[in-house]
Structure 1
Amino acid sequence: MASWQWNDQNKPTPTIGVRATAGAVSVKDNPQASQRPYVFVRGSDSRLHANWWDGGKWQWSDHGLPAGRTILEKVGSVTVRDTPSAAQRPYTFVIGDDSKLYANWWDGSQWHWADHGAPSGRWVREGVGVVVVQDSPNAPERPYAFVLTDDFRLWCNWWDGTAWHWAEHGAPPSRTISRPLGVTTVRDTPSAFDRPYAYVITADSHLWCNWWDGSTWHWADHGTPAGQLVKKGAGVISVQDTPNAAQRPYVFVQGYDSKLYSNWWDGTTWHWSAQGTPSGRLILDSVGAITVRDAPNAAQRPYAFVIGDDSKLYANWWDGSTWKWADHGTATGRVLERPGEVLTVQDNTNAAQRPYAFLITDDSELWVNWWSLP
């Protein structure tokens, strides 16, 4: 019978705990293969470690450090496919203790560290997120890493197919960016190119979007939920109602009232919706958001995972007609102390997508709450 399960992923080593997560992806070795989860973490040794599924069991791998540096913050993880029939190759972007951007990436046979530096005259302060962009459905995937610099401006480090570039995206007019939120891509039709959207929170606690219309970058003020200001982000996704439909962005945020809200595009207009809270609880922290597809031709259904003020995991999810809250409990005998990452896993090309939520417990171990099929 299908059910939610908790599993202890342990630590990178018996003496090295998990300090924070750095990103998570599902990897396909070929288009027909099953997806294999990879979760990247910053250990208590400030090194990058990966917890990954080899197809039969979970493994821990030490990915080390950029030369002469330690890791301070995450930016995020993506997979890159050079052609539609190629294997997916993981990339994880982090910020070093020299306030520069670094990538740990798989070339198909080995892992490499790459120094991406920083914009001229600036330091990298925080990560906003990472996406891959396709210029057409058959084009190579190109990574884009969005960050905030020390002057609280948005920058993008992007791959044009040959070289990496830094591009300044600035800040919203007459506003100061105070906090990152997340990134996604939007495709207007299945044969269209990807258009990146980067979301941030400004000093007046408004949600803003920096988005690409196909030729120009724009800033858009998405405001706030009615009567509430935006405290922090909870996740960004794009939703497809059918495989041939346009992708529609959804942004989940936490208000200062410790409730969940969503800002979403219906195809014509942006809306704010109050998602509320689990019964009798408030939201302590956010884990992330994903979409779930029950079959390859099914609609994508949003899920937002949060930690309640009772240190339990909760999901706010769409069943196809109604939003629901679900109590996922906690890791056996542990307290959920820090949020982690979320992803979906597909066992074969015809299978349903299964959600996985990774969290860090009070003993610095990595745990996963995952949906198992019979």
Structure 2
Amino acid sequence: MATVQWTRAGSPGDVSWARASHEATVVVVGTAGRHLYLRRHTGTVWQWERVGTPPAAQVVRDASLLAVEASGALTAAVVDGGAQVWLYKRQAASEPWINLGGPSRDPSLPESLDTSQIVTSTTHHDTATENTLVVTSLERPWIHQGVEPDGTWFPITPDANLPVGQLASAPASVAPDTEPQQHIFALLHDRDSPEDSQVGVALRENSVWTWIDPGGPPTDEQDEPLPTGVSIGLSATSIRDNSGTMHACAVVGTGSFGETTISMLIGSGHDWRWVNLGRPPVPESLSAAVVADKGPDPRPGDEPLVVGRVGHTMWTRSVSGDWTDRGTTPGDVAVVDPMAAFEDTAATAQRRMWTAGVSSASELWTFASDEAGTRWEDHGSPGSVAALVGAYTDTWPDTAHDHPVRMVVIDGHGDLWSGELGAALDVGFGDEVNQDWKWSFHGRPAAAVTSAAGIGVLSMNDDYPQPTWLFVVGSDGHLWARTADAAGWAWVDHGTPGTTIGSGTPPIAVNPADGPIVHVLADDGRLWMRSRSGHEWHWSDRGTPPGQLIFAVVGAAALATAAGTPPLAVVVTGDGLVRVSAPDGAAFAWTDLGTPTPGEKIVAGIGVEVVTPGTVDIAAVGSPSGQVWTLRWTPGGTPQWTARGRPGEAHIQTVVGTMPDPANEGGCLVAVIGSDEQVWVTATTGPDQTWSRWDPSVPATTVLEGKAVVLLGEMPCSVVIDDRRRVHVVTTPRG
């Protein structure tokens, strides 16, 4: 098999983080596209609910769940990219979003500098309930009492040299027989020494929020202080001692990287103690841990429980107990970081722990552990990729080296997205996985119109920002383009040529000044061309071959000839023949290229590629042979058919396309997906029946669909969707 490089771009629906409810019925997740989804348990099944973003907001930074309704129905408290806080109520009859405002912030600072977090908690005073929301903005915590839109956000100001990293909160009583009040925990970082951090506790005293120093964590065996690490995170819950007094308990990681242990801070008010829980008795590093939330009414004397991951395995431990191995996912198929854990500790209930986490493959998992054992559930990810539109090489200003590559996809809701992968002209793609800030949302063509199918992408990479067109077929049957110019992105409705559009072929450019040329197949079986002259767009009817309707458009190319660079379009007609449409004066003329053999028909087009000046290679699938055929043709010349066979023992499941062959400029590469659900490639200049399989880096990965593209100037690539609906770029390595 060929040596190839797979670079994972993921999906805008990849799960980045998860928060959950104590009832174990709702999980709120943030995705790589920075949109919000809810995972709800409805009776006997789990279902995804799409939330998106608040009105006018581009991204969601964080969210939490709280009960603000008398019915106990859970509401999501969401912080957007501008540190504005919103409530999302699915039950709302009209507008589900309620704006609670947010902290004051410097409008001159870009939103990208803000990594806002939000935590919520609820305290009960007799029959009254008080909700507290705490959000960070530019490393400063702000608090909002209640959930009324006209409330005020107050700053909780720590030492100016100790910015807030992570937050957690839990109610606790500052003295026996007193009402619980909120205690806010924060991981404070030393601005002068970023590797140093400490835990601070904020408490309201005499109507003023005050920061309390609970002291440092336990020392090691040499009586040296253990540094408070940030890799494990910060979480908190309420507990009760044997007398019934409520205390707060927070968990952090302490110690150096690779030797991290778990430390627990227990107490209330100004009275705190540290407990070192150590680490599981295995050599691997402790990677993640949370304390299990005991709910609003913890049972007296019930010790806090920590859930942590070491290697692939989950472990739990209480204060007085030992670390207990809870195992791995079934078949050890995923490595899951716990992000929220809860205990059902009611006196009448079987003791049960429930945990929500995110795997290294960016999927949501939950597991429940009780006396009957541990049960895992794979929830996957929401908003998966439904179709590919294409990919293109972008440019960054003031650099000639770095060129991000953008993949354009349609998700399962009919929304358009573009994802970014870092790349460079000399080395190609890095090994990094696309992170949560690298997917951009382009939405729908119109409020009532979704993207139904992708046509292709064209970008003019001689300017910045690049003029770019992302073409799709809308659910209304119109041709739509998401277009970028110096003014930004906008949707443009190119309409129809009089009847709805079914499909199209990727755009080409004959004259860059005139922009793209798009060929589409309309429902009337005719070939139509959408092009621009100057600033005016128009439709051109390229018609049909005499007596035939068009079955499929194979592709289009700008072919250099003595008469200029006419846009050629290659189609398959209903009789299984290949035909070419080319300009003929002011009109268009059809040329019959026939079939490979008298008994063979063409049933699918693969692509068209210019291989030498004035010559094209055309690739297609024939029947009944089921093999790939290529056709080399020069206008006015005799078509030359070549049988390319099938990829090994596999049948051809779907086509990917054609692309230039870097090993031989006089030919092209032809890519298909076989019945083994892998990408297979052959060259039109190589031996007639030679195929190479572009194997994935993870052997179990299979491929559902793909598109052939050229990136980074001259790199042939297959952009594919795998069986988990994630996007990858597959290419031969460069450098």
TM-score interval, smaller chain? 0.7 to 0.9
Quick check: 1:292–1:344 contact (8 Å CA) kept in 2? Answer: no
Partner of 1:22: 389
Task: Classify 1:10/1:85 alpha carbon distance in 2 versus 1 (closer, same or farther; 3 Å).
Answer: closer
The farther-off stretch of 176-185 and 160-169 is 176-185
Partner AA of 1:177 in structure 2: I
Aligned to 1:235: 607
Question: What is the percentage of aligned positions where both structures have the same residue?
Answer: 26
1:277 to 643, 646, 649: 646
Match of 1:350 in 2: none
Deviation at 1:96, TM superposition (A): 0.8
Alignment counterpart, residue 263 of structure 1, candidates 631, 635, 653: 631
For 1:274 and 1:182, locate their aligned partners in 2 and report how far apart those are by CA, in whole Å. Answer: 20
1:344: how far off?
Answer: 2.6
Q: Residues of 2 paired with 1:306 and 1:216: CA distance?
A: 34
Aligned to 1:63: 442
The match for 1:48 is: 416
1:358 matched to 2:725? The reply is no
Query: Whole-Å Cα distance in 2 between the matches of residues 359 and 263 of structure 1?
Result: 25
- Amino acid in the other structure paired with 1:117: G
TM-superposed CA distance for 1:28, in Å, is 5.1
Letter in 2 for 1:176: L
> Structure 1, residues 15-61: CA drift from partner, whole Å, max 9, x if none?
22110101223345699666543221111121111123354775321
Aligned mates of 1:100, 1:51 — CA distance in 2: 25
- 8 Å contact kept, 2:5–2:731: yes
- Measure the CA separation in 2 of the matches of 1:52 and 1:213: 41
Measured in 2, the distance between the counterparts of 1:182 and 1:102 equals 19
What amino acid maps onto 1:127 in structure 2?
Answer: G
1:6 corresponding residue in structure 2 = 6
Separation in structure 2 between the aligned mates of residue 335 and residue 373 of structure 1, nearest angstrom = 23
**Amino acid of the structure 2 residue aligned with 1:252:** A
Q: Distance in 1 between matches of 2:686 and 2:387?
A: 35
Contact 1:26–1:343 under 8 Å retained in 2: no
Q: Higher RCO, 1 or 2 (CA under 8 Å, sep at least 6)?
A: 1
Of residues 472, 496, 505 in structure 2, which corresponds to 1:94?
472
SS of equivalent residue, structure 1 residue 42: strand
Measured at CA, do residues 169 and 131 of structure 1 come closer, stay the same or move farther in structure 2, by a change above 3 Å? same
| TM-score for the superposition, normalised by structure 2 | 0.45
Q: In the alignment, what sits opposite 1:127?
A: 504
Q: Secondary structure at the match of 1:140?
A: helix
- Quick check: 266-275 or 90-99, which moved more? 266-275
- The answer for the alignment partner of 1:181 in structure 2 is 554
CA distance in 2, matches of 1:338, 1:299: 29
The C-alpha deviation readout for 1:267-310, integer Å capped at 9, x for no partner, is 7332111111223232221111101345xxx7353101111121
Matches within 5 A, 1:153-302: 153-188=526-561, 193-213=564-584, 215-226=586-597, 227-240=599-612, 246-256=613-623, 257-265=625-633, 268-293=637-662, 299-302=665-668
- Measured after TM superposition, the shift of residue 158 of structure 1 is 0.8
Distance 1:214 1:129, change over 3 A: farther
Farther off after superposition, 213-222 or 43-52: 213-222
- 1:338 Cα deviation after fit: 2.3
CA contact (8 A) 2:578 2:594 kept: yes
The correspondence for 2:522, drawn from 131, 134, 149, is: 149
Name the count of aligned residue pairs: 350
Shift of 1:86: 7.1
Structure 1 gap segments, 5+ residues each: 241-245, 348-352
Query: Structure 2 CA distance, aligned partners of 1:172 and 1:335?
Result: 42
| Structure 1 length-normalised TM | 0.85
Higher-Rg member (1/2): 2
Instruction: Give 1 or 2: higher strand fraction.
Output: 1
Is residue 77 of structure 1 aligned with residue 457 of structure 2? yes
Structure-2 change in CA distance of 1:308 and 1:38 (3 Å): same
Distance 1:77 1:315, change over 3 A: same
Q: Give the RMSD, CA atoms, in angstroms.
A: 2.6
Cα separation, 2, equivalents of 1:28 and 1:288 = 25
Do the aligned partners of 2:390 and 2:709 also contact (CA within 8 Å) in 1? no
Question: 1:316 pairs with 675, 682, 691, which one?
Answer: 682
